[in-house]
């Protein structure tokens, strides 16, 4: 579990989920909404696919994963719109594209290759990794970019705010700094490098070349 949380974070290692992470990180409320949606989609997809994996033929696994993930992503979008309309408005169309996010789709595929318990645990850890990173990113951007937290003004930072941080370019800057800090504190190990190369489709000899 420690290795998953510290060294195999899907956002910081493989940049899976980086697009929704950046989209949801301008405000802590949006980050909470996106994190809840991602966690629910991950867990529900892993549960359904884990229970049904024995009855899904090998040639039907890909379309089955697509259908299940897209279905739960649509449900999450509707629930956000109904119960968290403010967060839904902040997320825009990113709430609608969770069904094709590589982090969620990869977790769904893993659920069909593992037993139910391992699949659910992997989905839970991936969701927590995503949530922690996005919430920290959102807190930094909102505090120092808008001098507020969850929409509430922070008077002490009012005269020191940097509006650039609330924009897309500022989000990339904070994302890069936070990524550098994480990689400094938890440097990649040999197995992690192999995982990243495999995800990118690179063989060891390609890297040496």
Can you say how many angstroms the Cα of residue 187 is from the centroid of all Cα atoms in its chain? 20
Cα 144 to Cα 89: distance, rounded to the nearest angstrom = 22
Write down the pLDDT at residue 80. Answer: 85
Looking at the predicted structure, is the pLDDT value of residue 77 above 80? Answer: yes
Query: What residues have CB less than 8 Å from 196, skipping those under 6 apart?
Result: 13, 14, 188
Q: What is the mean predicted confidence (pLDDT) over 65-77?
A: 88
What does the pLDDT read at residue 192?
A: 47
Question: In 53-115, which ranges are continuous DSSP H helix?
Answer: 61-83, 85-91, 102-113
Residue labelled with tokens 């590589």:
102
What does the pLDDT look like over 9-59, one tens digit per residue? Answer: 666 655 666 777 787 888 999 899 888 888 999 999 999 999 998 898 888
Could you please report the per-residue DSSP string of 120-180? HHHHHHHHHHHHHHHHHHHHHHHHHHHSEETTEE-GGGGGG--GGGGSHHHHHHHHHHHHH
Regarding predicted confidence, which is higher, 75 or 205? 75
């Amino acid at each position: 579990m420690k290795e998953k949380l510290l060294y195999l974070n899907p956002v910081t290692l493989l940049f899976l989920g980086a697009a929704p992470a950046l989209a949801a990180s301008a405000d802590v409320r949006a980050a909470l909404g996106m994190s809840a949606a991602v966690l629910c989609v991950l867990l529900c997809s892993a549960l359904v696919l884990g229970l049904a994996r024995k009855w899904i033929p090998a040639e039907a696994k890909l379309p089955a994963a697509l259908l299940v993930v897209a279905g739960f992503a649509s449900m999450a979008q509707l629930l956000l719109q109904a119960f968290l309309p403010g967060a839904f408005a902040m997320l825009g169309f990113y709430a609608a594209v969770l069904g094709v996010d590589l982090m969620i789709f990869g977790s769904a595929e893993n659920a069909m290759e593992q037993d139910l318990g391992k699949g659910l645990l992997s989905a839970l850890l991936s969701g927590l990794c995503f949530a922690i990173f996005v919430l920290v990113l959102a807190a930094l951007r909102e505090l120092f970019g808008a001098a507020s937290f969850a929409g509430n003004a922070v008077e002490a930072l009012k005269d020191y705010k940097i509006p650039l941080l609330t924009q897309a370019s500022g989000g990339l800057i904070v994302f890069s700094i936070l990524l550098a800090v994480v990689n400094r504190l938890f440097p990649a190990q040999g197995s992690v490098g192999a995982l990243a190369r495999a995800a990118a489709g690179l063989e060891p000899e390609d890297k040496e070349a």
